[in-house]
Amino acid sequence: MDIQKLMEQAIETMPGTPGQEDLALIHKWTRRDLSAEELYVFRANLCDNDIDRDGERFTRPALEALANLFIGKTGLFDHSGKSRDQVMRIYAAQVIDDPARVTKSGEPYAALSAKVYLLRGGENEALIRAIDGGIKKEVSISCAVKRMICSVCGKPHGRDGCAHKKGETCDGALCHAVLEEPTDAYEFSFVAVPAQPAAGVQKRKQGSGNRRQESDAELAELRRLAEDGRIFRTQLLEKTLRAASIAVPGIQRETLRSMCASLPTGELRALCDTLDAQASRTLPLKGQLIWGAKRGEVSSNEGYRM
């Protein structure tokens, strides 16, 4: 199951210039040893274990697993997936506990905190000013988890007989889905408007098991169907152009092709049927040998006439 979890006010105060310990960690990801003056670092809380507005939460072990998975992952903007938006990288991550704070499920609060670096200079200077000025502070992660368990019955939420609804109160406890066993971490992003004020989840796919593999299979099937549709439309367009050359001989082929390009496939098919019927009336096509109609006229050559 692929998810996105958003955090508001995620950026914490941290010196912008890395120390020697941070430099050593950063140099694991750089091609050459950069100086501290070339780098800008900040800390971001990526996600936590509190119940969000979608009625879901990570377990603390899930946060620990994500801490390992996110080291080395890149930072983007709005989950764009474009290399030009790839300007940051996580070089360290850990789970930080806050004993003074309790989650909605009654557990001690914990958050996944990451250290991030980016290069100084160029367009990044505007981003650095936006971070320091508190403009860029909401972040969102993209990751995959294996299990989403109902907090009431312990079954996969919404499956295998689970009829509990997130947000409802059952036996005095708030029903929610527990996100367990992270399998991968993809990236984190700065986002303009987070969906939740503290933490939130936006689903790409729901379900149990390794949804990443199922999504890949579904994508492959959609691509196959799209290719079948492309071939069908190409053949349908060619048939339409042939029928039009008979039914409306005065129209230019390329003009008609341009007109048909914007038609939905259903309308193109209807046009093809209309032109094909008109073409059959204009130039009826029959077999060269007319057997049966004049079977009795053995000596006649009528059946061989064009």
User: 35-63 pLDDT, tens per residue?
Assistant: 999 999 999 888 899 988 778 899 999 99
Q: Are 148 and 244 within one domain? A: no
Report pLDDT digits (tens) over 101-119: 998 888 999 999 999 999 9
Q: Are 138 and 250 within one domain? A: no
Contact present, 120 and 39 (Cβ < 8 Å): yes
pTM: 0.59
Q: Are 53 and 184 within one domain? A: yes
CA-based nearest residue to 183, from 82, 68, 74: 68
Q: Which residue has the higher pLDDT, 284 or 142?
A: 142
CA distances from 81 to 86, 165, 193, 205, 268 (A): 8, 33, 18, 18, 36
| Within-domain flag for 178 | yes
Q: Are 30 and 169 within one domain? A: yes
From the number of C-beta atoms within 10 Å of its C-beta (0-12, 13-18, 19+), residue 296 rates as exposed
> Is the per-residue pLDDT at 299 higher than 70?
no
Tokens of 12: 């914490």
Range of the domain at 73: 2-209
Contact present, 34 and 27 (Cβ < 8 Å): yes
Q: Are 204 and 269 within one domain? A: no
Domain final position from 148, 179, 209: 209
Q: Are 244 and 195 within one domain? A: no
Domain final position from 181, 209, 237: 209
Domain final position from 209, 239, 262: 209
Beta-sheet strands, E only, within 128-197: 139-150, 169-170, 173-174, 177-190
| Within-domain flag for 218 | no
pLDDT for the residue numbered 181: 93
| Within-domain flag for 241 | yes
When divided into structural domains, the chain yields a total of 2
Tokens of 89: 């990288």
Q: Are 48 and 13 within one domain? A: yes
Which run of H or of E encompasses 65?
helix 60-70
